[in-house]
Amino acid sequence: MKQRARASLFFISLAAVLRFLAGCGMVAPPQPPSLHLPQPVTDLSAARIGSDVHLHWTMPKRATDRVLLKGDQAAHVCRSVAGGACEPAGDAKYAPEAQADFTDHLPGALTSGPPQLITYTVELRNQRGRTAGPSNAAWSASGAAPAQVTDFVAEIHTDGVLLHWQPTQDAGTILRIERTLAPKPGTSTKAGSALLRKGAEEPAQQTLEVGYASERDPAHAYDKDAAFDQQYRYVVQRVATLNLGGHKIEIASDPSHTYILNTRDIFAPAVPTGLVAVASPDEHAIDLSWSPNPENDLAGYVVYRREAGPTADAVRISPEQPIAGPAFRDAAAVPGKRYAYSVSAIDQDKNESRKSPEVEESLPQ
């Protein structure tokens, strides 16, 4: 009996202990404090413009142990020339998740002479100066940049925007032309004429490139994709392309000044052709018809009439609004009088063509 009592007491005590442990839960092992080491940058890029190298990267959101970073983080930029030691190029601070930009103003020794490969890395450091390692490498080049484009001018022509500049003897470079559309409140891109861009929605920014491999700078280019009745900003750079250490690298000149151009449509449509006049005596009218014009921005046509003879002036007989189709009925013709008819075309900017050659017709009395 005593042994049974002791066994029962043991199991009761064990059950009580298990209930106590279950109620309290198990305590997790303690975690070490975060070192707040920013994750290394993975998207560093470099662009050489004039005497500067522009670096860009995305700041990380978290530390290496996944802890959210708070406050500005220190960035140390390192530059290595031709495989030499990595030398400091500068320091800056950026917020987590920021799009970081850093400009390395190259010393004079790196803006002349034969081109050499420059390698950049960025290290992000915590408050104690510790780092989780460098970023990916980004490459640029030393040496002289192409000459800046000077005397840059843009002019509107019937077949596009003519761009011209002062030529140089730089060989093997390209001209990179950036065109930016300046939006106008309450307006939209008008369809171009037959000689300018037709119809489609205008992109806010476009880049055109003009290449020349010889010693001859073309000194001009046409932007055939421009639209009428817009305001554009044009900027041009010369760009040289190198291959150093297996890396394709561009060196761009400093940008030209910005040229602002209003492409107002000042060009009249073509003169209508094929005008024919046919009398309809039973209907007391003279019917006119002609070949349609091809312009996309055509508003319509204007019909003129005068009494045949050397002295009479032509007067407009069509309505105030241009007529849409290539046909018109003159129901006001007086029988027995001979008339000379002509037609002009007019576009949406009220540019009117010259009058067509005249044709004569009359209604019998």
Per-residue pLDDT reduced to its tens digit, 135-155? 999 999 999 999 999 999 999
Rounded (5°) CA angle 40-41-42: 115
**Per-residue model confidence (pLDDT) at position 198:** 40
Q: What average pLDDT is seen over the chain?
A: 87
pLDDT of residue 171: 66
Is 276-362 the same fold as 153-240+252-262? yes
Q: According to the model, what pLDDT value does residue 218 have?
A: 82
What count of residues does the chain have? Answer: 365
What residue ranges do the domains of the chain occupy? 45-141, 153-240+252-262, 276-362
pLDDT at 296: 87
Answer yes or no: are the C-beta atoms of 236 and 177 closer than 8 Å.
yes
Q: What is the pLDDT of residue 21?
A: 47
In terms of Cα–Cα distance, which of 296, 286, 280 is closest to 327? 286
**What is the pTM (predicted TM-score) of this model?**
0.72
pLDDT digits over 185-209, tens only?
A: 555 445 443 344 443 455 677 887 7
CATH number of 276-362: 2.60.40.10
The CATH number of domain 45-141, selected from 1.10.30.50, 2.60.40.10, 3.40.50.10800, 3.40.1390.10: 2.60.40.10
Q: pLDDT tens track of the chain, all 365 residues?
A: 445 545 454 445 555 544 544 455 555 566 677 788 999 999 999 999 999 999 999 999 999 999 999 999 999 999 999 999 999 999 999 999 999 999 999 999 999 999 999 999 999 999 999 999 999 999 999 999 999 999 999 999 988 899 999 988 776 688 899 999 987 655 544 544 334 444 345 567 788 777 665 567 788 888 988 988 899 999 999 999 999 999 999 999 999 999 999 999 999 999 999 999 999 999 999 999 999 999 988 999 999 999 998 888 999 999 999 999 999 999 999 999 999 999 999 999 999 999 999 999 999 98
Q: What is the pLDDT of residue 192?
A: 43
> Residue 200: what pLDDT?
42
DSSP 219: -
CA distance 238 to 214: 14
- Please give the angle made by the CA atoms of 252, 86 and 84, to the nearest 5 degrees: 85
User: Dihedrals φ, ψ of 2, to 5°?
Assistant: -65, -40
pLDDT at 105: 98
Q: Please provide the distance, in angstroms rounded to a whole number, between the alpha carbons at the two ends of the chain.
A: 148
Alpha-carbon distance of 350 to 46, in angstroms, equals 50
What is the predicted pLDDT for the residue at 195? Answer: 42
Give the Cα separation of 80 and 86 in Å (integer). Answer: 4
Using the Cα atoms of residue 80, residue 51, residue 219 and residue 176 in order, give the sign of their dihedral: positive
CATH fold group of domain 153-240+252-262: Immunoglobulin-like (2.60.40)
Q: Which of 328, 160, 131, 132 is nearest to 228 (CA)?
A: 160
